[in-house]
Amino acid sequence: MGIFADNLVWRLGSGENVNFWNDHWMPGVHHLIDFVQPEVFPNMLEERVCDYVSDRRWDLNRIAVVLGDDWIPVFRSTKTPEPEIGEDILAWLLTLDGAFSIKSACSLYLSPSDNSKAELFSKIWKLEAPQRLRTFCWLVANEVLLTNEIRVKRNMTQDGSCVSCGEAIESMLHVIRDCRVARQTWMSIDARLRFGNFFNTPLLPWLLENLSSQSLFKGVQWPLLFVCIMNALWLRRNKVIFDSDEAVAENSIHFLAFRLAKDYSMAHLELAQSRKKVCNFIERQIKWKPPDHPFIKLNSDGSVLDGGRAACGGILRDSDGRFIACFSVNLNGGTVTTTELLGILLGLELALNIGCSHLIIEADSLVAVKLCLQKEIDLHATRSLVLAIRNRCSRLTSWNIHHQFREANTCADRLAHFGHSLPSGCHIFFNLSSCISLAFHADSIGIALPRVVSI
Ligand SMILES: [Zn+2]
């Protein structure tokens, strides 16, 4: 079944029924999730293709955040979905009209070129290298990076020649292998490359052969070094065009690439030892949990809007999840971190005022939580806030503070946002405020929200 599913592709209509991350809709990329940036967060497995369109254009800023800048040209050349086109339709990749046929299905088992392409993409996805390099490699394989050859095709320029040597048409393979600078770099790495067919193989078999290699070069896996060199050559080519003063000297590209490959290789080993697995994502269900008796739990949060308006809020609940009190504060202004810290401080004061002696504090700002726990704080801009927090904590019999994912901090998030709509100052409520009733009940019955986390 897998091989059939691999050859189904969504043809976008409105993009409403196609999952951005896990459905095959971008030609040549089975799952965009394979290329996600590590710092991307919540609920993203649910996102649809249409969620990345704004005003009929791709939301390139967001795409750059979740996938990296390298993807911007790919999206620029991909048609956006439109509601007017109608439904999204599943098509069969192996026939011209997209309709399924037995004959074409049988060809799956007969066609070496399709299989070797699938094999190449699989090698890229499994490459033991940072995500950025895997993405780069995929872009090379699909020849979508903006070489002068591609720019001519897209009417972006009329001159398709190579900036470095001025000779040939600047194709993908020219930049990363055949140009004089590239050739010199490869030969500096290993002069024996001249003897085989390294410089004569077409792009895709060349990539496949090198990414499949098991050989080690001075302690570094060849596929990793290979990709680092290609990437260094591409980056240098861009520097030469856009910022020639800072371009790496021709004869040191191979040093730079080797050092990078060595560093990545070490980092990968360390990660592999500490975590056994890297670059894998799983979906975890995140939910709010009541504290153990006799603790009370404070969830706090801050919110800073564009333009600098700031607000914070928080909620206290007991070990049965029962509501005790909540607060929302309109702070007018503040940084993200000071706002988060103020939320914690005001929540602590509220807890002390109601006679709490055992408190668990949860905030979704890792920075704020770390500051509260950090030993050396004297020189930090938030020193007075952090010391005030510690002072209040010292009045409790027992306390603990930890970072919580925002999926389990929704009540505090709602209260912080609510603060923007209130007059300046702190507003304390001893009844369940309507702005959090839904989130509160969701927490009470233990509703979990999915979150993609790396393992
Ligand atoms: Zn050239």
pLDDT tens string 321-364: 999 999 999 987 888 899 999 999 999 999 999 999 999 999 99
**Plot region of 386 (φ>0 → left; ψ -120 to 50 → alpha; else → beta):** alpha
Cα of 169 to ligand 1 centre, how many Å? 8
Residue 319 pLDDT: 94
Residue 439 pLDDT: 80
Taking each helix axis as running N to C, give the angle between helix 366-373 and helix 336-353, from 0 to 180 degrees, rounded to the nearest 10: 60
At 387, the amino acid letter reads: L
pLDDT tier at 1 (50, 70, 90 boundaries)? very low
Tokens found for residue 58: 């791709």
Residue 445 pLDDT: 76
Cα of 173 to ligand 1 centre, how many Å? 10
Cα of 245 to ligand 1 centre, how many Å? 19
Residue 66 pLDDT: 84
Cα of 29 to ligand 1 centre, how many Å? 29
Query: Taking 60 as the threshold, does the pLDDT of residue 368 lie above it?
Result: yes
Write the burial class of residue 84 (CB in 10 Å: 0-12 exposed, 13-18 middle, 19+ buried): exposed
Cα of 170 to ligand 1 centre, how many Å? 6
Cα of 204 to ligand 1 centre, how many Å? 20
Cα of 168 to ligand 1 centre, how many Å? 6
pLDDT tens string 196-254: 789 988 999 899 999 998 888 888 899 999 999 999 899 888 888 776 666 667 788 88
Residue 277 pLDDT: 46
Cα of 175 to ligand 1 centre, how many Å? 6
The domain ranges of the chain are 2-110, 121-279, 288-454
Cα of 177 to ligand 1 centre, how many Å? 9
State pTM to two decimals.
Answer: 0.45
Q: Distance (Å, rounded) from C-alpha 337 to C-alpha 381?
A: 10
Cα of 158 to ligand 1 centre, how many Å? 17
pLDDT tens string 369-417: 999 998 888 878 888 899 999 999 999 999 999 999 888 999 999 999 9
User: What is the average per-residue pLDDT within 275-293?
Assistant: 71
User: What is the average per-residue pLDDT within 38-45?
Assistant: 66
Cα of 191 to ligand 1 centre, how many Å? 20
Residue 278 pLDDT: 42
Tokens found for residue 37: 């940036």
Segments of 140-295 assigned E as strands: 216-217, 220-221, 281-286
Residue 275 pLDDT: 57
Cα of 146 to ligand 1 centre, how many Å? 15
Report the CATH number of the 288-454 domain.
Answer: 3.30.420.10
Write down the mean pLDDT value for the chain: 83
Identify the CA nearest to 118 among candidates 17, 5, 10, 272.
5
Cα of 209 to ligand 1 centre, how many Å? 23
Report the Cα–Cα distance between both ends of the chain, in Å, rounded.
28
CB atoms within 5 A of ion ligand 1 belong to: 162, 164-165, 179
**Are 288 and 299 within 8 A, CB to CB?**
yes
Q: What angle do CA 272, 275, 277 make, to 5 degrees?
A: 65
